[in-house]
Structure 1
Amino acid sequence: MKHYHYIFTGAGLSALMTVYEMVLSGKFKDKSILLIDEDTKKSNDRTWCFWDDKALFNDLASTKWQAAWFKNESFERRLNLHPYQYKMVNGLDFYKRVFDLISKEENITFLNQKVLDFQELGHHCVVKTESESFTCNQIFNSIFNPNLVDNQSKYPFLHQHFIGWFIKSKEPVFTADCATFMDFSVEQRGNTRFMYVLPTSETEALLEYTLFSKDLLPKEEYESEIQLYIEKLGITAYEIVEKEQGNIPMTCYPFWKNNSKNILNIGAAGGWTKASTGYTFKNTVKNSKALTAFLLKENDLTKFHKIDKFWFYDLLLLDILDRKNHLGSTIFSAMFRKGNPAVIFQFLDEETSFTEDLQVIWRCPKRLFIKALIGRIFR
């Protein structure tokens, strides 16, 4: 069996971003690295969006917005995002950037196979695919195992699930420089449901029908809601250019407890997704940078994770949505109705002080969170 220093089981965002940071650091050229994934990463299978007040992936962002709408059934507010921009990165553009970079590195190999199993055996690890086996010093696993979360009740497990259509319309109905961050004016039907709109011109936009809930919907229900929304915008004729769909786990389950000295769970499998919003890109950038720096100093992967106050804030919100899923619109509307957008986005990026935390938290329905806090203490 061929031996590597590091094997990444799964080559999604977290794995590719971590290897990307390793290459940029210039300090891992003496380490053999294997990435294994059953997908070739040669299709535009997703888009990532994030808000940023620096120049993060500026050259890779296909679109940037300076403002965003927040809407519900009773009010709408145009949010000035300054000093932030809301950015969109296409999956294929990101894959190409990373693979162009690692193709020049002789110590990095990508294998297009499906991982069947991996385990730690004393001082080394073994990874098995459909046709081969490999050994390595350490494994970074990004293959999500839903059974870990399904088979427990202490931590809520919701899904951010969606279907999106990128359309070209006959009528110029979109505001090109303003995204729709959340539009809760759609029927809630006992859940947290909203429309997400990312315009790239006056006649082109990505529209995603999104839910934070326990259960997925039939494909037809997502698409019928998108059709209704398109009609509500006043569009009479349009072309569907592309479709996408996704399901992002939303949970504060302590994935890090499944780490070992030589196996680290990363990405959604390691709790890198922002549990309260489902955002992944910015959190993955932060975690991959932190992991790269960690590997230069430490060898015990159980020491990598650190819990913080934001994990607990997310847990309280998920406790509420787990019991009363229809209250998502109420909570987010209270936050955005009069709150400072820059502070809210800084809070969601987990970069606020405790005083700034309170500016956001106190706008939310206090009774709900106090009840959730008491329930969590005695859970």
Structure 2
Amino acid sequence: MILLSRYDYIIAGGGASGLSLLHHILQSPLRDKSILVVDKTRKEQNDRTWCFWEAGKNPFESIVYRQWQYVDFYSANFSKTLDLAPYAYKMIRGIDFYEYVQAQASQSDRVHFLQADVQAIEDTENGAVLRTDVGNFEADWVFSSIRADNEKAQAKGHHYLLQHFKGWVIRTPAPFFNPEQATLMDFRIAQNGDCRFMYVLPINERTALVEYTLFSADLLSEETYDQALMDYLRSFYQLDDYEIEHEEFGIIPMTDMPYPSAGGKFIVNIGTAGGITKPSTGYTFTRIQQDSQRMVQRLSKGESPQRHINRWQQRFKIYDSTLLNVMVHNFHPSSDVFTHLFRNNPPQRVFRFLDEQTNFWEEIQVANSVPKLPFVRGLTKALIK
């Protein structure tokens, strides 16, 4: 492969947002554009799992590993099996996603991949330049998913929680799980002043992904995550005999800090670096697809891919900040907030609300379903911030 000195597009970061954008470009009239994808590591490992809900199909439907229409919700004083239809809760494995997009890209001699460390991205008079440890490359547009090293320090005056999780794919010696039904949230574990829950996604009768998820300011020791998973399987499933086939660990920022959507006139920040992650939930994958489609549509029309602010849609940022205030300041136990949310609303309304697709009347219904005083306090802080 002979690298060019200038490309139509450069994608800095070959993870979910970068490869999603590449996929959407290759499925569009822009498929003949020259594209360089730069990442410091090769995407050859099953290093993560993306889970999301949706009604209908997504651009990666053919590689959805498993999906569930029925999910269980548990808390100390409430439990229910939720029928999500027309939604389904879906799982895509990282390795399947990487291989799928890379296979598409291999069909084009206009797409190049480079393993390199990105050192800087700067505007030029008629585009942008990407500086790496192996050379510099110019493009009409650079799309970057690279986040700042001092991101938390930049969040001064804003909330910055972490969603961190440790997951095991376990296999039992005999059939044990119901592959048609998953556990979306189980709050019956010790909360310790945080928001902590387990979820269980059965892959087949003998295999499941069991994950321990926390919303908190600080990470735990590796042993603490492992002990929590072992205790959960023993206490709630009476399960001690299993093999751990795969482990995964992840950290997602949950912050109302405004991420700059533009890194420059010809530089577009994408994924979490572009503020695409939902601050109150950490969900990102579906939002990445929507953002990628929007950018490709604008590029196809000869327009700038930079985002434009929808003032009315900004109300959801206030809702996100409100919930973060409730969690950060411990105005009310998070487990009870989610219990009220799923006990007093159909899951479809909850999903529409979290997808920012509700109307104002539905949002009032959601607000009325949770404890009033804690959220009034949280809203007040969000408005005067």
Specify the TM-score bucket, using the shorter chain as the normaliser. over 0.9
Map of 1:158 onto structure 2: 161
Q: For residues 43 and 168 of structure 1, what CA distance do their matches in structure 2 show? A: 20
Residue 359 of structure 1: CA displacement? 2.3
Secondary structure of the 1:248 match is strand
State the Cα deviation string for residues 199-232 of structure 1 (Å, max 9, x = none): 1123211011110111111111111000101111
Map of 2:293 onto structure 1: 289
Residue 148 of structure 1: CA displacement? 3.6
Q: For residues 276 and 87 of structure 2, what CA distance do their matches in structure 1 show? A: 22
Q: For residues 367 and 153 of structure 2, what CA distance do their matches in structure 1 show? A: 29
Residue 174 of structure 1: CA displacement? 2.3
Secondary structure of the 2:294 match is helix
Give me the identity figure in percent: 38
Secondary structure of the 2:365 match is helix
Map of 1:244 onto structure 2: 248
Given that 1:260 and 1:302 are in contact with CA atoms closer than 8 Å, whether structure 2 keeps it comes out as no
State the Cα deviation string for residues 140-179 of structure 1 (Å, max 9, x = none): 1101225244233222111110110000123544221111
The amino acid of 1:3's aligned partner reads R
Given that 1:191 and 1:326 are in contact with CA atoms closer than 8 Å, whether structure 2 keeps it comes out as no
Q: For residues 376 and 345 of structure 1, what CA distance do their matches in structure 2 show? A: 22
Residue 28 of structure 1: CA displacement? 4.2
The amino acid of 2:270's aligned partner reads I
Map of 2:272 onto structure 1: 268
Residue 296 of structure 1: CA displacement? 2.7
Secondary structure of the 1:196 match is strand
Whether 1:310 aligns to 2:312 is no
Residue 304 of structure 1: CA displacement? 4.0
Given that 1:171 and 1:235 are in contact with CA atoms closer than 8 Å, whether structure 2 keeps it comes out as no
Q: Map 1:181-192; keep pairs closer than 5 Å.
A: 181-192=184-195
Q: Map 1:1-379; keep pairs closer than 5 Å.
A: 2-29=5-32, 31-56=33-58, 57-170=60-173, 172-232=175-235, 233-256=237-260, 259-297=263-301, 299-300=303-304, 302-306=306-310, 308=313, 309-324=315-330, 327-379=333-385
Given that 1:261 and 1:299 are in contact with CA atoms closer than 8 Å, whether structure 2 keeps it comes out as no
State the Cα deviation string for residues 10-33 of structure 1 (Å, max 9, x = none): 11111111111111112341x221
Given that 2:261 and 2:307 are in contact with CA atoms closer than 8 Å, whether structure 1 keeps it comes out as no
Secondary structure of the 1:137 match is strand
Q: For residues 8 and 15 of structure 1, what CA distance do their matches in structure 2 show? A: 6
Distance 1:325 1:28, change over 3 A: farther
Q: For residues 14 and 231 of structure 1, what CA distance do their matches in structure 2 show? A: 37
Residue 303 of structure 1: CA displacement? 4.3
Q: For residues 377 and 279 of structure 1, what CA distance do their matches in structure 2 show? A: 24
Q: For residues 380 and 78 of structure 2, what CA distance do their matches in structure 1 show? A: 32
TM value normalised by structure 2: 0.93
Q: For residues 263 and 308 of structure 2, what CA distance do their matches in structure 1 show? A: 9
Residue 373 of structure 1: CA displacement? 1.7
Name whichever of 182-191 and 150-159 sits farther off: 150-159
Q: For residues 212 and 286 of structure 1, what CA distance do their matches in structure 2 show? A: 25
The amino acid of 1:289's aligned partner reads Q
Residue 275 of structure 1: CA displacement? 1.2
Q: For residues 226 and 152 of structure 1, what CA distance do their matches in structure 2 show? A: 31
Report how many aligned residue pairs link the two structures.
Answer: 378
Runs (5+) with no aligned partner, structure 2: none
Secondary structure of the 1:259 match is strand
Q: For residues 300 and 27 of structure 1, what CA distance do their matches in structure 2 show? A: 14
Q: For residues 148 and 200 of structure 2, what CA distance do their matches in structure 1 show? A: 30
Secondary structure of the 1:59 match is helix
Residue 180 of structure 1: CA displacement? 0.8
Residue 360 of structure 1: CA displacement? 2.0
State the Cα deviation string for residues 338-376 of structure 1 (Å, max 9, x = none): 310111112212222222222222211221121122222
Q: For residues 199 and 149 of structure 2, what CA distance do their matches in structure 1 show? A: 26
Q: For residues 28 and 168 of structure 1, what CA distance do their matches in structure 2 show? A: 42
Q: For residues 253 and 85 of structure 1, what CA distance do their matches in structure 2 show? A: 30
Given that 1:164 and 1:207 are in contact with CA atoms closer than 8 Å, whether structure 2 keeps it comes out as yes
Q: For residues 157 and 97 of structure 1, what CA distance do their matches in structure 2 show? A: 34
Distance 1:81 1:44, change over 3 A: same
Runs (5+) with no aligned partner, structure 1: none
Distance 1:344 1:125, change over 3 A: same
TM value normalised by structure 1: 0.94
Given that 1:191 and 1:325 are in contact with CA atoms closer than 8 Å, whether structure 2 keeps it comes out as no
Residue 44 of structure 1: CA displacement? 0.9
Q: For residues 155 and 81 of structure 2, what CA distance do their matches in structure 1 show? A: 41
